[in-house]
């Protein structure tokens, strides 16, 4: 069945937003689905060349012909959602929200602040984890999307709609969040993990689809893995942005900031161990290797250093690279010939 799942193979910020947008456009997807909370931001470059960051909506929100869905496994911050709906000019005709998506409240954000998660494990403090806990504990005060009058025009049976579309043979894109190295179940990185599973199977469960529906799992990795700033956990062979800038002869210094908290990201050299584990658990059909433009300021598809790095990564993870990213735009994504 025609479902494509986009997953991260490291610690997030691998470029999943760009890839999900690219796949939605290239495969003519009818619906793009987002699950998870607002503790991660996905970036896509719009037609004007501006970076658009989405914490709630799928990045296909900038593709007018694609319907959008927020599944039962979504945790919604109403302020963030409303801002993104306005920015992307999305109305109820394009977006469907499952009635049992959970609402993140100020109470949830306050709990995460009081428990010092931000300082202890580098949490974004978005309230997503606290909302997950309330759901697990069956808190009677927990609010769902169906309880919010302002969302009434968006509420729909997401699962039924997706099933009908699949029966008609329509392509669906499931945009997973964060990365395998943050999975509380499979990464082995506790306590430096997120509040939800970050595997293809986990995302599929949150959306309410069957494994039998999936024909494509696209894993996204990056040349230099990152973690969020602060005490966010182990990062093998950690370096700094000055080193990457110098080695790649970049005239302007490279530096990344987290899209949610705006902290400077920690960065390291490529580590195959976490990626091999991610491959084992997710069983991807293809892998995208992003941020190859960091290798050299003049990087191109035929650049010797780039080609050498692609071969090195493929060998170290025992998996052929299917796509490469040479910049932030979808136009910088190349499919490698078999």
| CATH code of the domain containing 240 | 3.40.440.10
Q: Which residues pair with 47 in a beta bridge?
A: none
Per-residue model confidence as pLDDT tens digits over 131-144:
999 999 999 999 99
- The pLDDT score that the predictor gives to residue 271 is 97
pLDDT value of position 50: 86
Dihedral of the CA atoms 305, 310, 314, 320 (nearest 10)?
Answer: -150
Q: What is the DSSP letter of 61?
A: G
Per the CB < 8 A criterion, the answer to whether 55 and 40 are in contact is yes
pTM score, whole prediction: 0.93
Token pair recorded at residue 168: 């008609």
Q: How far apart are CA 245 and CA 103, in angstroms?
A: 41
Domain count, the chain: 1
pLDDT score at 338: 52
Comparing 38 with 258, which gets the higher pLDDT? Answer: 38
What pLDDT does residue 327 have?
83
In this prediction, residue 297 carries a pLDDT of: 84
Percent of the chain residues topping a pLDDT of 70: 97
Nearest CA to 319 out of 292, 277, 287 is that of 287
- Phi first, then psi: give them for residue 15, nearest 5 degrees: 105, 30
Q: Is the pLDDT of residue 195 over 80?
A: yes
SS3 category, 99: coil
219, containing H or E segment: strand 214-222
Which pLDDT belongs to residue 48? 84
Angle at 89 between CA 87 and CA 95, to 5 degrees: 110
Average pLDDT over residues 144-152: 97
β pairing state of 333-335 and 323-325: antiparallel
Query: Which pLDDT does position 121 carry in this prediction?
Result: 66
Mean pLDDT of all residues belonging to the chain: 92
Strands 226-227 and 266-268: antiparallel
Range of the domain at 108: 3-335
Would you say residue 184 has pLDDT above 60? yes
Q: What is the rounded CA–CA span in Å between residue 198 and residue 186?
A: 9
pLDDT of residue 337: 56
For residues 135 and 37, the answer to whether their CB atoms sit within 8 Å is no
127: left (phi over 0), alpha (psi -120 to 50) or beta: left
Chain position carrying tokens 């329509």:
170
Give Dmax over CA atoms of the chain in angstroms: 60
Distance (Å, whole) CA 311 – CA 320: 8
Torsion angle (degrees, nearest 10) of CA 225, 229, 234, 238: 50
């Amino acid at each position: 069945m025609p479902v494509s799942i986009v997953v991260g193979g490291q610690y997030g910020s691998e470029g999943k937003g760009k890839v999900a947008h690219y796949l939605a456009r290239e495969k003519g997807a009818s619906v793009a689905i987002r699950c998870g909370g607002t503790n991660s931001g996905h970036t896509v470059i719009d037609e004007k060349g501006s970076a658009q960051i989405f914490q709630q909506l799928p990045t296909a929100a900038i593709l007018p012909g694609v319907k959008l869905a927020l599944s039962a496994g979504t945790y919604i911050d109403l302020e963030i959602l409303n801002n993104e709906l306005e920015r992307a000019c999305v109305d109820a005709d394009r977006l469907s929200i499952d009635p049992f998506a959970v609402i993140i409240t100020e109470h949830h954000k306050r709990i995460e602040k009081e428990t010092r998660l931000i300082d202890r494990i580098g949490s974004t403090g978005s309230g997503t984890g606290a909302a997950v806990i309330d759901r697990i504990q069956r808190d009677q005060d927990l609010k769902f999307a169906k309880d919010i009058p302002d969302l009434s025009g968006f509420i729909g049976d997401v699962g039924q709609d997706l099933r009908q579309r699949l029966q008609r043979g329509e392509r669906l894109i499931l945009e997973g969040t964060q990365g395998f190295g943050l999975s509380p179940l499979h990464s082995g990185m506790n306590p430096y993990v997120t509040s939800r599973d970050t595997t293809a199977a986990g995302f599929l469960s949150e959306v309410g689809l069957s494994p039998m529906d999936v024909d494509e799992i696209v894993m996204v990795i990056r040349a230099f893995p990152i973690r969020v700033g602060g005490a966010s956990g182990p990062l093998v062979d950690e370096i700094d942005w000055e080193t990457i800038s110098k080695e790649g002869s970049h005239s302007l210094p490279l530096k990344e900031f987290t899209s949610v908290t705006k902290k400077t990201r920690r960065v390291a050299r490529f580590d195959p161990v976490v990626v091999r584990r991610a491959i084992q658990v997710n069983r991807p059909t293809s892998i995208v290797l992003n941020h190859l433009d960091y290798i050299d300021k003049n990087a191109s598809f035929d650049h010797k250093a780039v080609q050498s790095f692609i071969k090195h990564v493929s060998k170290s993870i025992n998996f052929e690279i299917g796509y490469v990213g040479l910049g932030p735009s979808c136009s910088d994504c190349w499919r490698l010939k078999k």
